[in-house]
Amino acid sequence: MKKSNFKVRLMTVLSILSLMLFSHCAMQDADDLNSKLSELQKGELAIEENGGENLRKNAQNQILAEIKQATSKFHKIESAMETGYELGSHCVSHSEWGAMGYHYVNSDEVDGQMNHLIPEALVYEPMQNGNLKLVAVEYIIMADLWEGDGVPMLGEIAFDFVPGNPDGIPFDNYQLHVWVWKDNPNGMYFSFNPKVTCE
């Protein structure tokens, strides 16, 4: 009788221990699963954020590629002039920031509209052999005629507001340089380029 009671008690204790062990393992597994799930969610979030950033970069790069394709014919200054671009300024430079170059402006395109495939100005760098090299495009929008919401944008890049200047553009305007044809260490959209010279 004592032996059978002992066996029953032993079986009961072993059952309780098994349940406790199973329960502990299940809790640990649940913690591990929650931890792994959290890591996966963080990873997915990072992928979404990076993916979104990549999509934004790709969209901006697509705009730049379209600008290059639309303006590639203007490497020949004659093609630009036949299309309506005329010399609009002396060679613009800055003592600290470098230069822009010569601006050839299509005055028929200077209005309150923005079309990235038809820049209002083409920017040329004078070369030592006397030729002009296409280095950038410039967008110029008359501020008083702009009907868009807020500042004009080229993709994600905002235009600069420039007050009218009798020595430059005489009316308030929004403008943006885009160095699609020459690397600019100051940035693709910075007005002056230290790699460009007027000399």
Residue 111 has pLDDT above 60, yes or no: yes
120-141 confidence digits (pLDDT tens): 999 999 999 999 999 999 999 9
Q: What percent of the chain has pLDDT over 90?
A: 67
| pLDDT-derived band at 50, boundaries 50, 70, 90 | low
pLDDT of residue 152: 98
Is residue 98 included in any domain, yes or no?
A: yes
Lookup: tokens for 94: 């800055």
User: What does the alpha-carbon distance between residue 67 and residue 135 come to, in Å, rounded to a whole number?
Assistant: 12
Number of domains making up the chain:
1
Is residue 64 included in any domain, yes or no?
A: no
Residue 157's domain comprises 73-178
| pLDDT-derived band at 192, boundaries 50, 70, 90 | very high
**All residues at 6 or more sequence positions from 153 whose CB lies less than 8 Å from its CB, including other chains:** 159
pLDDT of residue 45: 46
Residues 121, 106 contacting (CB under 8 angstroms): yes
Is residue 27 included in any domain, yes or no?
A: no
Burial 89-122 (b: 16+ CB within 10 A, else e): bebbbeeeebbbbbbbbbeebbeeebebebbbbb
Residue 67 has pLDDT above 80, yes or no: yes
Is residue 95 included in any domain, yes or no?
A: yes
152-168 confidence digits (pLDDT tens): 999 999 999 999 998 88
Summarize the confidence of residues 20-48 as an average pLDDT: 46
User: What does the alpha-carbon distance between residue 166 and residue 146 come to, in Å, rounded to a whole number?
Assistant: 21
pLDDT of residue 54: 74
Is residue 127 included in any domain, yes or no?
A: yes
Is residue 51 included in any domain, yes or no?
A: no
Is residue 93 included in any domain, yes or no?
A: yes
Residue 61 has pLDDT above 60, yes or no: yes
pTM equals 0.73
pLDDT of residue 15: 46
pLDDT of residue 168: 84
| pLDDT-derived band at 56, boundaries 50, 70, 90 | confident
Is residue 84 included in any domain, yes or no?
A: yes
